[in-house]
Structure 1
Amino acid sequence: MSEEKAGLLDGAVAPALNTRLFGHAEAEEFLARSYKSGKGHHAVLIEGPEGIGKATLAFRFANHILRHPDPLSAPEAIEDPDPEHPISRQIASGASHNLLHLSRPVDEKTGRVKQAITVDEVRKAGHFFSQTSGTGNWRIVIIDPADDLNRNAANAILKILEEPPKRAMFLVLSHAPGKLLPTIRSRCLPLRLHELSPTAMDQALGQLGLSMPTEKREAVLSLAKGSVARALKLVNYGGADILEAFEQMLASSGPSQRKMMFKIADALSGKDSDVAFGFFIEHLGDHLAETARQFAHAGNLAAAEHYARLTSTIGEQLTVAGAYNLDRKQTILDVLAAVTR
């Protein structure tokens, strides 16, 4: 099943179903201690790169709270969720009356995940709190990720954060917290998660059973940069081949370069290629930013400015192409041509 239709990468385990978390023991310990103290913050901003376990941590903590509603008698550590426990089953099925997971909704017409979390989704939080206000239970909202909130939705969340209901907990996830409204960040306790270590990556990928040729494993782990999601995109979505073609394109010229450009464009404009396309665009942005930094450090300010402007120009070009549903293959060819000039 494709990510654009289900919001989940091929080979991944939905965070609500995931019973294991690797590489974030200190963050778990902090959350457990904070909750047990009875003085924990009502909103935690769990920030860090995509695909390192932020959502899994949020669901584990939510499970911990709902299983131990009295903070003072809660265990000092967060245990792996028991899939057979009623609360775990409710969370896994999305049937918990005390947990609301806000994410980009699926467009009923296209079956694809929308580009943003809308204000209509945030209104569900208000309804959620009003329905459960008399039960005395904890009510937990996971915003996954808050980066996807559009302006109206962000303002609506802010109003709830400013006057949170009693025994309410917000777990706000963010890949890029600098893009969030400063007022949202200021009302959350920040908890920074880092890229997974090589050991944690091995454990996480082993848990998923990700299969890759031995000779490619080291290269994939290096390119994954401590992100399980990135590793899945490299292996299950052709990301490694796309990046290899991109490097060959940059190193070549003439007909050979043109051949690589078409190879990349074909791979990124085929059926169910949205994940690969997003992966490549992210990589391209990183490449241009790094190139600009290298030129700046070398004292070539003109070249640095060129690549900085190119980043902005390509971003605008992609936005327009998406807004008007322009031919993706031609858009990619135009972008690659701009990079190679």
Structure 2
Amino acid sequence: MTTERAGVLEGAIAPAENNKLFGHLQAEAFLAQSYKSGKGHHAVLIEGPEGIGKATLAFRFANHVLSHPEPAEAPDSLVDPDPASIITRQLASGASHNLLHLTRPLDEKTGRAKGAITVDEVRRAGKFFGQTSGTGNWRIVIIDTADDLNRNAANAILKILEEPPRRSLFLVLTHAPGKLLPTIRSRCLPLRLKPLDKEPMRQALAHLGFDLTGPNADRILSAANGSVSEALKLLNYGGLDIAAAFEEILSGQGPAVRKQMHKLADILAAKDSETIFDFFSSLLMGRVMQLARDAATAGDLERAERLARLSSGFAERLTVSDAYNLDRKQTILALLDDLKNAL
């Protein structure tokens, strides 16, 4: 099964190294103009689904601020980072003394990202702000993502947000803003990014070397739901095959379906299958929630409520399975059984 380095999908460019962003011109213009005005907020909550460019936008804006430390002298639009610039090179290599990227740390034993951003990681932000900047430049923290902060880490971040240091900027990324502490949301300026339309999706994938003109192009664009990372899972990780197998299982009956379920579970439980398992988990949860919405729209509130409870139960079981390293194959089979029974 395909693996990726430091959380970057195969075929993707790490956000800190990516010099292109597609489909978010309004968000870029807003950030550039609010910074130039000198009235920009010290913390921006960049919201939106996974894989649409939130982290790339954050690094792009950080490059802009560090390249133009005096707001009044900054241009009124963001431009592609200059690969020859020392600031661009430092950001791309993680060597900038003016930017801290907080994300889930790697577990040295497993080589996988840990389940949460801990308070120890947040303490790095305190030390970061405690150091004197040799250039007098801005200090920028990118929290990627705030969804991954555990309770203690979230409270520690909140304390810094309440009394931000001078010339500090927080770029807080979130896939699900409704799940964050209300006090964190209240101290940030929300900036909502939408899933990419088809043309920006084509441009983003072309930038990564994918020519979406083949017979599966429309199918991939439709299934990706405006997310470049979802498209990469479809293209490089067998996502199309997984989605097709899932549909066959849901619509099928009899012993043959049981065999398909075991085959799918074996693939998803294989070694180094984290990415495709996450893809399947999202696919499964998305299907249940869509069924609940369809039932509600049709006026079948009892069925809608039952499916909503099923969705909540699935999310909890997936979390518990991951936390306690339970047998993934058995978890998948149980979830598929429950979904088929509900249908």
State the TM-score, normalizing by the size of structure 1: 0.96
Q: Helix, strand or coil: the match of 2:318?
A: helix
- Give the aligned partner of residue 62 of structure 1: 62
Residues 1:181 and 2:181 are matched in the alignment: yes
| Deviation at residue 316 of structure 1 after TM alignment | 2.6
CA contact (8 A) 1:249 1:256 kept: no
- Give the aligned partner of residue 232 of structure 2: 232
Q: Helix, strand or coil: the match of 2:131?
A: helix
| Deviation at residue 293 of structure 1 after TM alignment | 1.6
| Deviation at residue 298 of structure 1 after TM alignment | 1.9
The residue correspondences of 1:1-341 to structure 2 (distance < 5 A) are 2-3=3-4, 6-132=6-132, 135-210=135-210, 214-341=214-341
CA distance in 1, matches of 2:203, 2:260: 35
User: What per-residue deviation string (whole Å, max 9, x for no partner) do you get for residues 206-244 of structure 1?
Assistant: 000136681111101000011101100111111111111
Amino acid at match of 1:207: H
Q: Helix, strand or coil: the match of 1:171?
A: strand
| Deviation at residue 135 of structure 1 after TM alignment | 4.9
CA contact (8 A) 2:97 2:133 kept: no
User: What per-residue deviation string (whole Å, max 9, x for no partner) do you get for residues 280-323 of structure 1?
Assistant: 11111111111112122222233222212211222232233223
CA distance in 1, matches of 2:132, 2:99: 10
Farther off after superposition, 151-160 or 134-143:
134-143
CA distance in 1, matches of 2:62, 2:323: 37
CA contact (8 A) 1:43 1:188 kept: yes
| Deviation at residue 182 of structure 1 after TM alignment | 0.5
CA distance in 1, matches of 2:212, 2:145: 29
CA distance in 2, matches of 1:52, 1:99: 22
User: Could you say if the C-alpha distance between residues 118 and 320 of structure 1 is closer, same or farther in structure 2, counting changes exceeding 3 Å?
Assistant: same
CA contact (8 A) 1:245 1:263 kept: no
Q: Helix, strand or coil: the match of 1:6?
A: coil
User: Could you say if the C-alpha distance between residues 279 and 112 of structure 1 is closer, same or farther in structure 2, counting changes exceeding 3 Å?
Assistant: same
CA contact (8 A) 2:202 2:212 kept: no
| Deviation at residue 133 of structure 1 after TM alignment | 5.5
Runs of 4+ deviating beyond 4 Å: none
Identity of aligned residues (%): 66
Amino acid at match of 1:308: A
| Deviation at residue 134 of structure 1 after TM alignment | 7.0
CA distance in 1, matches of 2:334, 2:81: 49
Structure 1 gap segments, 5+ residues each? none
Aligned residues: 340
CA distance in 2, matches of 1:29, 1:315: 37
CA distance in 2, matches of 1:25, 1:312: 36
CA distance in 2, matches of 1:87, 1:33: 21
User: What per-residue deviation string (whole Å, max 9, x for no partner) do you get for residues 76-133 of structure 1?
Assistant: 1111001111111111111100011000110112111111111111000000000136
CA contact (8 A) 1:140 1:170 kept: yes
User: What per-residue deviation string (whole Å, max 9, x for no partner) do you get for residues 154-194 of structure 1?
Assistant: 00000000000000000011111111111001001111111
CA distance in 2, matches of 1:298, 1:79: 47
User: Could you say if the C-alpha distance between residues 211 and 259 of structure 1 is closer, same or farther in structure 2, counting changes exceeding 3 Å?
Assistant: farther
Q: Helix, strand or coil: the match of 2:122?
A: helix
CA distance in 2, matches of 1:315, 1:78: 39
Amino acid at match of 2:50: E
CA distance in 2, matches of 1:54, 1:320: 28
CA distance in 2, matches of 1:77, 1:313: 46
CA distance in 1, matches of 2:9, 2:185: 28
CA distance in 2, matches of 1:210, 1:72: 40
CA distance in 1, matches of 2:276, 2:173: 23
User: Could you say if the C-alpha distance between residues 197 and 212 of structure 1 is closer, same or farther in structure 2, counting changes exceeding 3 Å?
Assistant: closer
